[in-house]
Structure formats: structure tokens, C-alpha cells
Amino acid sequence: MIARRFTVTGRVQGVGFRWAAQGEAERLGVVGRVRNRTDGAVEILAQGERAAMDEFASWLEHGPRFAQVADVDAEPVEPIDVDGFEITR
């Protein structure tokens, strides 16, 4: 299991990004949480098997249909203690 914090910038708020990320994470068996930041970015804490996390990271590069992703920053974090994948705000 690996855990990462993703920061996604671009046109990523108001386009269903959090809900789509939740659906993609659940499909892949990735757990964690996603939130909108006040600076317009979306932040995701996610944990899963390496292959699932790699696929999730690839999905984040484009996001849902109406998103316009400019950049995805990923950094390793300590394992998180969470069940499922939730939208926190």
C-alpha cells in the first residue's frame, strides 16, 4: 500500500471533479478523501495498491469531462487511516 497527497490545479472546481474522483477511486479500490481548497485547487489524500494508485494518478491528469487540468502534484505521505473514499468539502 502506498499513500499520496495530490494537488490538482486548473479548472477543477465547479465541474464535478470531487464526485468523479470519488467514483474513480471507488472503482479502483483506492481509499481516502478529496476537498476543494480556497486557492481553487483540489486536494486528494489517497491510499491503495501501487497499480491502482498509478491508474488513479493517470486519471487525475485529465479528470472528468468538463475539467481542464493544468497540473497534478503528487507527494508521498504517511499511510492514512480511513475506510472508503469521502468528499470532505
Phi/psi for 18 (5° steps) reads -65, -45
C-alpha to C-alpha distance for 89 and 79, rounded to whole angstroms: 21
Annotation marks residue 5 as catalytic:
no
Q: What is the DSSP letter of 61?
A: T
Active-site residue identified among 5, 18, 27, 50: 18
Query: Is the Cβ–Cβ distance between 24 and 53 less than 8 Å?
Result: no
Active-site residue identified among 5, 11, 35, 36: 36
Query: Is the Cβ–Cβ distance between 82 and 31 less than 8 Å?
Result: yes
Where in the sequence numbering do the catalytic residues fall? 18, 36
